[in-house]
Structure 1
Amino acid sequence: MTTKTPLKGKVALVAGATRGAGRAIAVELGRAGATVYATGRTTREHLSEMGRAAETIEETAELVTAAGGEGIAVPTDHLEPERVRALVERIDAGHGRLDILVNDLWGGNQLLDFQTKMWDVDLDRGLRMLDLGVKSHIITSSVALPLLVRRTGGLVIEVTDGTAESNKGFRENFYYDLAKNAPIRMAFILGEELKSVGGTAVAVTPGFIRSEEMLDIFGLTEENWRDGIDKQAHWALSESPVYVGRAVAALATDPGQTRWNGRSLDSGQLAREYGFTDADGSRPDVWGYLKAEGEAEEGHRPPMEDYR
């Protein structure tokens, strides 16, 4: 007999839960019954450098609770070790355990200079991207893992963009490439170290995600997102944040999750494995399509409908 709340009694920290993938992951973990600490820099009283007032960690926590879990919002800049220590001490004092750590920290899209050579990118902008996408993950794991490893079976999720296979190609920006490949390597290394305590670490990537920010860039909403296909053909295989949220929840509730240890995984791959779908009932697989497209002979692109 299965339960609808297999994570009841479990405690998760979703670092970077303000919007997009992080918010959806927090909500889906809550739907599975977990207590979820949702952290980030944008609150109803404070705006982060991203300048997006519409999404806050308080709202994320409320969505977690509405889904059936317990959402707890804690404003945290994960580049400040003392703030992260205070957060982990609060989790320890309140629950004495941490079962799931999700590093979904980023917030550097506004710094991107695609199609710009490394030597033409402002150094401060580039280093800020590495702070946001790499250093923040390291600080959070360093501080939170001592609590997570008190119990066997802990799970660490490094959220990134791309897999080890897909990221072998050129990612168009020196700093972005480093920022998105580093979490993949972190998951591999942590996976090796967590073996001794029965833990698991994996990197997880969404596909072409229709985050709040991306929908704004396209000038669309979740209701009319298909209108963007004419602007970008691969948009036809885009996915809502719910998809990667369900991917992480499926991993977290899988008693055999250790078989994935150290690997980099994508939402479409995990959907095939666990049988879940996106919110609209589809099963998009943009990474699978891009691989097939790259291997196809010129003029013989695979049909997109086979990957949705």
Structure 2
Amino acid sequence: MKPLQGKVALVAGATRGAGRGIAIELGAAGATVYVTGRTTRTKISEYNRPETIEETAELVTNAGGRGIAVQVDHLDPAQVQALIARIEHEQGRLDILVNDVWGGEYLTQWNVPVWEHSLERGFRMLRLAIDTHIITSHFALPLLIRSERGLVVEMTDGTAEYNDKTYRLSLFYDLAKTSVLRMAKSLAHELSPYPCTAVALTPGWMRSEIMLDHFGVKEENWRDAMVKEPHFVISESPRYVGRAVAALACDPEVARWNGHSVSSGHLAQEYGFYDLDGSQPDSWRYIVEVQEAGKPANATGYR
């Protein structure tokens, strides 16, 4: 079964992390997936990371879809406009837009007040986290609203409920992630005359390539990181949030989520999918009820 056969997706910011996991799972469901980012096999971005968009596209194809890598800087309107024109020319449609551009891992200064935080790094983060999403939606949505059931997924960190109550350790980071939540709500309103749905989605504690490197582990032995951080027991692979996006894209009643903020763990329970290890981590409930409550690390009942 390839429920997304014939569907066309754009995962903006698919070089690594959640974007790569989402692209792979959309491919596994049969979609044609355009994967964008700045790092290719011949040119790297400011991240100076080894992952490339070509690798992501190959993983999409190997999963059963069709991966198409396009180098795009989503802060450049002309590049985004050219990307959408190419998708329209080659496919004639766009069914799924995932705004996953981020780029702020190395810019945030945690627990540093705004008067001490670098303005250059803070504003760069906001541009990468917010402007990129707006620019991409500006050019992509006229094509997407022609779809019979278009879906926009705004990727962020934290649910609306959690972020409303919690300071995210940096004014700039807090603003970046809460702005994307609000963006999904605004898009839901603006798309209401069309058969389209906009959703804000967050993974839990995700084992991105950068996170694994931080703990000095690989996906195969990620549990070794629990020696340094026991609460890493609740972590999830990037494919888990990918399966959340695929589930939304396959749902004929996806409009029930329009304007909502959801998490990978929440959607796993709603749609019945699992992470690669067969578990269903519910990270945000765990963070509140166990980690922030000062209890010992124990994922029993949370995955």
**3-state SS of 2:279 partner:** coil
Q: Residue 172 of structure 1 corresponds to which residue in structure 2? A: 169
What residue number does 2:201 align with?
204
Partner of 2:47: 50
Instruction: Tell me the secondary structure at the aligned position of residue 120 of structure 1.
Output: coil
Q: Within the alignment, does 1:19 sit opposite 2:24 as a pair? A: no
Matched, 1:65 2:69: no
What's the counterpart of residue 131 of structure 1?
Answer: 127
Q: 1:111-122 maps to which residues of 2 (within 5 A)?
A: 111-122=107-118
The residue aligned with 2:302 is 307
Q: Which residue of 1 aligns with 2:98?
A: 102
Question: Using a 3 Å threshold, how does the CA distance of structure 1 residues 272 and 138 change in structure 2: closer, same or farther?
Answer: same
Q: Distance in 2 between matches of 1:303 and 1:176?
A: 28
Worse-superposed segment, 94-103 or 287-296: 287-296
Q: Distance in 2 between matches of 1:300 and 1:76?
A: 44
Letter in 2 for 1:203: A
Q: Is residue 291–residue 297 contact of structure 2 (8 Å, CA) maintained in 1?
A: no
Gaps (5+ residues) in structure 1? none
Matches of 2:241 and 2:147, distance apart in 1: 26
Q: Which residue of 1 aligns with 2:221?
A: 224
Q: Is the 8 A contact 2:230 2:297 kept in 1?
A: no
Cα displacement (A) at 1:50: 0.5
Q: How many residues align?
A: 302
Q: Residue deviations 1:48-68, cap 9 Å, x none?
A: 001102x10001111111111
8 Å contact from structure 1 (residues 24, 241) kept in 2: yes
The aligned residue for residue 32 of structure 1 is 29
1:180 partner SS: helix
Cα distance, 1:293 vs structure 2 = 3.3
Asked if 2 retains the 8 angstrom alpha-carbon contact of 1:292 and 1:302, the reply is no
Q: Which runs of 5+ in 2 are unaligned?
A: none
Alpha-carbon offset, residue 79 of structure 1: 0.1
- How many angstroms apart in 1 are the aligned matches of 2:302 and 2:6? 37
Residues of 1 paired with 2:102 and 2:8: CA distance? 22
Paired residue type of 1:128 = R
Structure 1 length normalisation: TM-score?
0.95
Distance in 2, matches of 1:24 and 1:237, equals: 18
Cα offset, 1:224, TM superposition: 1.1
Whole-Å separation in 1 of the counterparts to 2:239 and 2:45: 24
Structure 2 SS opposite 1:304? coil
After TM superposition, give the deviation of residue 117 of structure 1 in Å. Answer: 0.6
**What corresponds to 1:245 in structure 2?**
242
- Matches of 1:300 and 1:145, distance apart in 2: 45
Asked whether 1:140 is paired with 2:139, we answer no
Q: For 1:78-113, what per-residue CA distance to the aligned partner results, in whole angstroms no more than 9, with x for missing partners?
A: 000000000000000011110000000001110110
Query: d(CA) in 1 for partners of 2:269 and 2:171?
Result: 32
**Counterpart contact for 1:289–1:302, Cα < 8 Å:** no
In the other structure, the counterpart of 1:293 is: 290
Q: Measured at CA, do residues 173 and 68 of structure 1 come closer, stay the same or move farther in structure 2, by a change above 3 Å? A: same
Residues 205 and 8 of structure 1: is their aligned pair in 2 closer, same or farther, counting only changes over 3 Å?
same
1:24-68 CA distance string (max 9 Å, x none) = 100100111110000000000110001102x10001111111111
Which amino acid is the alignment partner of residue 220 of structure 2? E
**Cα distance between partner residues in 2 of 1:89 and 1:156:** 18
Determine helix, strand or coil for the equivalent of 1:126.
helix
Q: Which amino acid aligns with 1:305?
A: T
